[in-house]
Chain A
Amino acid sequence: MGDTINLKLKIWRQKNSKESGRFEIYDMPGVNTHMSFLEMLDVLNDRLIREGKDPVAFDHDCREGICGMCSMYINGRAHGMLKGTTTCQLHMRHFHDGETVTIEPWRATAFPVIRDLVVDRTGFEKIMQAGGYVSVNTGNAPDANNLPIEKSKADEAFDAAACIGCGACVASCKNASAMLFLSAKVSQFALLPQGEPERRERVLRMVAAHDEAGFGSCTNTGACEAECPKGISISHIARLNREYLRASLSQE
């Protein structure tokens, strides 16, 4: 059933964070084009295990583009060449017979490799813990409809909140900056009345955590926006900059 193509895979192999890695080449004949990219790697891993070799480690979970776990650099592009698509949603029908496909992990100092294509994204957690929340305890919230929110604002906040925390923005940025990720959260709360009370504090703390986690600074190249699978707009970085400026100026 379906068409098949033959591919060569050039995959980054690295045993752990201490050892250095290298590329290895694998032939992949007869790839069914209806498969997803990760299913193609499942097939490769199945073969490697049968041959008594170590399978290629990669992160994945939902396989439907929402958990943000998958993270591959495919032919020099984060999540591959399709716009608005995570690695797990990429299907083999977009590849050509005879092609060599290069697969690497996210590369950024703040994202050390754990094994093969798996990286450590703890830096994102640190940013979120620094202020990615509204400080309300559970219980006693007022009736939800006591707080009408302009639909356009709510929609824009949603656009920002759609970030899946995958890290593609960091991986595609030459400075390995996490500004797109960070700005999406800051922006969501800056647009909503619930975020107002902590607006100033939040942006200062989150930016500080970002720098501390080893992410680089933003020089507005726009690579992040182009590669973000969820279409997070770089305009959120502009808003972040305004928020930051406002917060710094009002600092006592």
Chain B
Amino acid sequence: MNKLASKIPDGPLETKWTKFKSTVRLVNPSNKRRIEVLVIGSGLAGASAAAALAELGYTVKCFCFQDSPRRAHSIAAQGGINAAKNYANDGDSVFRLFYDTVKGGDYRAREANVYRLAEISNAIIDQCVAQGVPFAREYGGLLDNRSFGGVQVSRTFYARGQTGQQLLLGAYSALSRQISKGAVTMYNRHEMVEVVMIDGKARGIIARDLVTGELERHFGHAVVLATGGYGNVFYLSTNAMGSNTTAIWKAYKQGAYFGNPCFTQIHPTCIPVSGEYQSKLTLMSESLRNDGRVWVPKAKGDKRKAEEIPDEERDYYLERRYPAFGNLVPRDVASRAAKQVCDEGRGVGPSGLAVFLDFRDSIKRLGRALIEERYGNLFEMYEKITGDDPYTSPMRIYPAVHYTMGGLWVDYNLMTTVPGLYALGECNFSDHGANRLGASALMQGLADGYFVIPYTIGDYLADEIRTGSTPTSHPAFEAAEKSVKDRIDSLMNVKGKQTVEDLHKKLGKIMWDYCGMGRNAEGLTKALGMVRELKKEFWSDVRIPGGAKEFNPELDKAGRVADFIELGELMILDALNRKESCGGHFREESQTEEGEAKRDDENFSYVAAWEFKGEGVEPMLNKEDLQFDVVHPTQRSYK
């Protein structure tokens, strides 16, 4: 059987989802209660899935590693969420949102999935408003929209600069309601550390209570992963400190294929690195590019203050190179352009690894008050971190790792190649191809959780109504717990010299230098060797303080970094294999004369789905060919 069957329903694009919904098998209400579903993660994808599944009557357990589901990393999203409402009457439609997303993803996403996402987008806004999410409104009381990087319509809904927070609090409120009804049992400060497989199906997990260090066994008829992105493989990223790959990495090792691991989004507008001690990077919302102009001095090594550089000596390089989109080109394009001008020696700031984002002209045109209303909290955040005032001198920004388009391969039902194991939100690979457009991750997380999984999971669970709960004394649970315990013991017993941070920083540097904004065969090959060495170094020299049976954040981190190192290797293999440039993946060997990314549809119009073949064995590459029936791939142009 072809494990990579995408299960896309037949028929025209516009009717696939409707048809699916009306023909999918259902589980009757009295059976639902007897079916247990484990949801790992409480971000937009996890919280919405747990709440929606519980509303349908399933018995749900939900897990997160923070002390409350409300703290999942989705909380940090600033800019907004897309929907094809066309409230702005500027020509938007489901089709246009679909088209923009496929094109923005550089034709490496599945048409049917993206179309469904665009279709569902409107219901998300309705749902959130019904929950009391306070979106920005106009004076007439209706919802306000703005435009966001990479598109030419205003379809982004927002809640000041805290859209993710408000959406997550909405999903969290729905989740809290189900917890109070006893339909969801919430496990905070718990980390999933293994998937338990019985007869080839996912049947449960091993979780670690992070307060006591105890291992727990949980049975589920199905396991839903919604554990977020793995950008922290680069050490420095805009992700929260705890964001990790552990859950999906364990799934990969249990047989779930990993899709396009090397597809990473580097966001153009982040606060530059200030020193060695730096622990994370802070994003400055992309919405700033609506009113801010990006530039560097025309001359190399110009160290004058921004205010002292006259207009004719400034290079507004995005406006110059991409007159049609200007400062609003997609993220991958903007990031690469920033890297190029810095590589030319025209970067600004103490490190030379930064460009200006300047509000002078828009303050002049619109007045300070309006700029303050639009971006006040972002300006404040910038000032808090850097000590500089962006109202009087331009911000300094530089690209940083932000989002991972890669993730577990899933079919149309969001099921991985392991029966009964699903992946939702950022941790799957599905909708963004090789580059994600702004404000579409929040859309995807909520679409997956509120509107897709509640339907698609029934298709699998309909066969499970006669499967009783497996007692967790089952040998498979026994064995899984033992392997987890053995691994923790080995970690604790290394008793080496390097801290987990030391090793994580080393990994980050390798990944950033060779598998970051620019990639080439020589560098990647070198990096492959380096990461393999680092793995040995980790397992022979890591030092973890304290014990395994207590609150021990260093041990938690050690487990995550061990997984990151292995993932790093897979990302490099994937980047090596994909000899074309596409979206965020820029193979220096494959560029146009003007230095733009050059796709190779002939040879690479596929999803790379990697299959684990055992420790120390090369993983196997499986390919899902991408078909474009509606949108015809062209070289992306934002000129």
Q: Does A130 contact B (CB under 8 A)?
A: yes
Q: Which of A120-155 contact B (CB under 8 A)?
A: 120-122, 124-125, 128-130, 132-139, 141-145, 147-151, 154-155
Q: Does A7 contact B (CB under 8 A)?
A: no
B381 touches A133 (CB 8 A): no
Closest to A156 in B: B134
Q: Does A35 contact B (CB under 8 A)?
A: yes
A39 touches B277 (CB 8 A): yes
Q: Does B125 contact A (CB under 8 A)?
A: yes
Complex Cα gap A174–B245 (Å) = 42
Interface 9-residue window, one of B171-179, B436-444, B471-479 = B171-179
Residues in B with CB closer than 8 Å to A158 are 134, 159-160, 166
Of B188, B279, B385, which is within 8 A of A38 by CB? B279
Complex Cα gap A237–B241 (Å) = 34
B384 touches A52 (CB 8 A): no
Complex Cα gap A226–B180 (Å) = 32
Complex Cα gap A62–B280 (Å) = 9
Complex Cα gap A192–B134 (Å) = 9
Q: Does B140 contact A (CB under 8 A)?
A: yes
Residues in B with CB closer than 8 Å to A214 are none
Q: Does B588 contact A (CB under 8 A)?
A: no
Interface 9-residue window, one of B65-73, B250-258, B288-296 = B65-73
B173 touches A46 (CB 8 A): no
Of A2, A138, A145, which is within 8 A of B174 by CB? A138
Of A15, A53, A84, A129, which is within 8 A of B176 by CB? A129
Q: Which of B117-171 contact A (CB under 8 A)?
A: 123, 125-132, 134-143, 159-160, 162, 165-166, 169
Complex Cα gap A128–B186 (Å) = 13
A120 touches B67 (CB 8 A): yes
B131 touches A194 (CB 8 A): yes
Q: Does B628 contact A (CB under 8 A)?
A: no
Q: Quick one: given A42-B501, A62-B76, are A134 and B546 in contact (CB under 8 Å)?
A: no
Interface 9-residue window, one of A20-28, A65-73, A215-223, A240-248 = A65-73
Residues in B with CB closer than 8 Å to A128 are 70, 172-173, 176
The SS class assigned to the A binding surface is loop
Q: Which of A33-47 contact B (CB under 8 A)?
A: 34-36, 38-39, 42-43, 46
Of B85, B128, B139, B546, which is within 8 A of A54 by CB? B546
Complex Cα gap A126–B381 (Å) = 31
B551 touches A50 (CB 8 A): no
What is the interface size of chain A, counting residues whose CB is below 8 A from a CB of the partner?
Answer: 79
Residues in A with CB closer than 8 Å to B130 are 134, 136, 141-142, 194
Q: Does A239 contact B (CB under 8 A)?
A: no
Q: Quick one: given A64-B282, A161-B169, are A138 and B52 in contact (CB under 8 Å)?
A: yes
B123 touches A141 (CB 8 A): yes
Closest to B271 in A: A64
Residues in B with CB closer than 8 Å to A52 are 545
Q: Does B310 contact A (CB under 8 A)?
A: no
A-B contact pairs, 5 of them (CB 8 A): A66-B165, A67-B66, A138-B454, A139-B123, A147-B129
Which chain A residues have a beta carbon within 8 Å of chain B's beta carbons?
1-2, 15-16, 32, 34-36, 38-39, 42-43, 46, 48-50, 52-55, 57, 59-69, 84-85, 89, 91, 93, 114-115, 118, 120-122, 124-125, 128-130, 132-139, 141-145, 147-151, 154-155, 157-158, 161-162, 164-165, 188-189, 192, 194-195
Q: Given A39-B277, A91-B385, A144-B143, output 7 extra A-B contacts at Cβ < 8 Å.
A: A55-B553, A61-B240, A68-B70, A115-B551, A125-B68, A145-B85, A161-B134
10 shortest A-B CB distances, which residue pairs?
A: A148-B141, A133-B173, A141-B130, A141-B126, A129-B180, A158-B134, A144-B129, A67-B71, A194-B132, A61-B240
